[in-house]
Amino acid sequence: MTAIDQTMDIGDLEKPWYVRLFEMARNQPLGTAGALVVLLMVLAAIFANFISPYDPEAASWKHQLSPPDSNYWLGTDAFGRDILTRIIFGARTALFVGFTAAFIGATSGLVLGVASAYFGGRFDIFIQRLVDIVMAFPLIVLALAVVATLGTGTVNVIIAITIPFIPQCARVVRSSALAIREIPYVDAARALGFGHFRIIMRHMVPNVMAPYLIMLTTFVGQAILLEASLSYLGMGVQEPTPAWGLMLQGGAEEFAESAPWVPIFPGLAIPLAVFGFNLFGDALRDVLDPRLRSR
C-alpha cells in the first residue's frame, strides 16, 4: 500500500460515522435498498403488537373474503382475518425461523470448517466426505426428509432448515482457513506452545469472520424461502400461527380468481424479503472482501 493510500484510509477513519454511512449508501445503492427492506421487516416484527390494526388470530365470519378497503387495507382471508395484520406478524415468524436456522447452521459450519482446515489429515478427509454427502441433496429435498422424520412444528422446521446450511458454510470457511493455517504467525503460536483451542479462537476464527457473516446473511433469505415452502406444503408452521407460506397455501388455489388479494399480498412479501437479504448480503460481501474492494 502506498503512502497516498494509507493517508486516504486514515482520512476515511477520521470522518464522522454518518458521513461514512452516507458514502457507503452512495457506493452500494442496491445494498442500501436491501438493508432498508431488512430494517423495515425487523421493525415490523419487533413492533407488530403496536402497529397491527387487528388480532392476527381473530376470525370474523361477518367479514370473510372482504376486498381491500379503508377498514382492511389488504382485505381478509377465508376466516375473516386481516391479511395486513397476518403479514406483519408473519414477518416475526419468518425472521425467527430465518435468523435461528441461519445462525445455528452458519456457526456450526464455522466450527467444522475451521477445525477441518486446522487439524487436516484424516479428520479433514472425514469431515469433507460428510459435507459432500449432505451437499449432494437439494436444500428443499433434505429439509422435507428431515421434517417428514421429525414431524411438523416451528422447532422441527428450524432443525430441517439448519442441517443443509452446515456443510455449505463449512466448505466456504474451510477454504479461507486453509490459507490462514499457512501464515507464519500460526506457526509462531505453535512454537510458543499455545494450545489448539487458543490458536483457533485467537488467530483463525477472527480471520474467517468475513465469509461467515456473508454466509449468515445469505442463509437468512434462504431460510425464509425454505420456511415458506415447507409451510405451503403443509409441513412447516401450523395454523393458527401467522406465516407467509401458510397464508399462501390457504389462498393460492381456491381464491386465485374469486379473491386474488388473499394469495397476492403474502406472495409478494416472500420474494421481497428474500430479495432484500440477498441484496444486503451481496453488498456486505463487497465491503468485507478485500479482493473486491481493491478493484
CATH number of the domain enclosing 225? 1.10.3720.10
Residue 41 covered by a domain: yes
Residue 3 covered by a domain: no
Q: What is the pLDDT of residue 7?
A: 39
Residue 6 covered by a domain: no
Q: What is the pLDDT of residue 4?
A: 39
> Distance (Å, rounded) from C-alpha 269 to C-alpha 243?
11
Q: Residue 156 has which C-alpha cell? A: 422441527
Helix and strand element counts for the chain (H, E): 14, 0
> Distance (Å, rounded) from C-alpha 77 to C-alpha 242?
12
Per-residue pLDDT of the chain (295 residues), as tens digits, is 444 344 344 445 456 766 766 777 778 888 888 889 999 999 999 999 999 989 998 888 888 888 999 889 999 988 889 999 999 999 999 999 999 999 999 999 999 999 999 888 899 999 999 999 989 888 888 888 889 888 888 899 999 999 999 999 999 999 888 888 777 777 777 777 777 788 888 878 888 888 898 899 989 999 999 999 998 888 888 888 888 988 888 666 777 778 888 889 998 999 999 999 998 888 887 777 655 554 4
- What residues have CB less than 8 Å from 238, skipping those under 6 apart? 152, 153, 246
Residue 100 covered by a domain: yes
CB atoms within 10 A of CB 8: 12
Q: What is the pLDDT of residue 154?
A: 86
> Distance (Å, rounded) from C-alpha 16 to C-alpha 149?
53
Residue 204 covered by a domain: yes
Q: Residue 49 has which C-alpha cell? A: 403488537
Residue 241 covered by a domain: yes
Q: What is the pLDDT of residue 210?
A: 85
Q: What is the pLDDT of residue 251?
A: 66
Residue 96 covered by a domain: yes
The domain tally of the chain equals 1
Domain with 25, as residue range(s), is 21-293
Residue 2 covered by a domain: no
